Each structure stands twice: as structure tokens, then as C-alpha cells.
Amino acid sequence: MMGYGFGFGMFGMIINFLLIVGVIYLVIRWVRGEGTNRHIESTPERILDERFARGEISEDEYFRMRSILRD
């Protein structure tokens, strides 16, 4: 009756090991900021694309502004 893994024997040891490794992995991702809330850089071209997609500017304005940004 003196085993490891909270009474589940070898299976319990494996589960405990995987649980500890999983927690360490999640903590490392959280510390590095690699979670679901990633920061997307707002470049001028991306902002222009978003404005065009929302219908705030016309197609002519979009292409004119895009050519200005690329020059």
C-alpha cells in the first residue's frame, strides 16, 4: 500500500508529472506574454486597410493614400 502517485501507482505518477509539466509550460507562456491577447502592430498601411474595409474611405481614396504611403 506504500506507492507513489496518490494511490494510482505508476499511472498516477505519470499523470502528476504531466500535470506539473503542463503548469510550468503555461506559466512560461504567460510570463513571455504569448497568451491569446497578442499585440498587433498598427502600421499606417494596416490602418488604411481597416478604414477601407469598414467603408470609411472610397476605393479611389484608398489607392491614392496607399500609393503615397509606399513612396
Residue 38 near residue 28, CB atoms below 8 Å: no
Residue 15 is classified by DSSP as H
pLDDT at 14 (0 to 100): 86
Q: Provide the pLDDT for residue 31.
A: 83
| Per-residue model confidence as pLDDT tens for the chain (71 residues) | 455 545 667 787 888 899 999 999 988 888 887 655 556 678 899 999 999 999 999 999 999 999 999 88
pLDDT score recorded for residue 39: 61
Instruction: Report pLDDT for 24.
Output: 93
Instruction: Look up cell 484608398; give the residue.
Output: 62
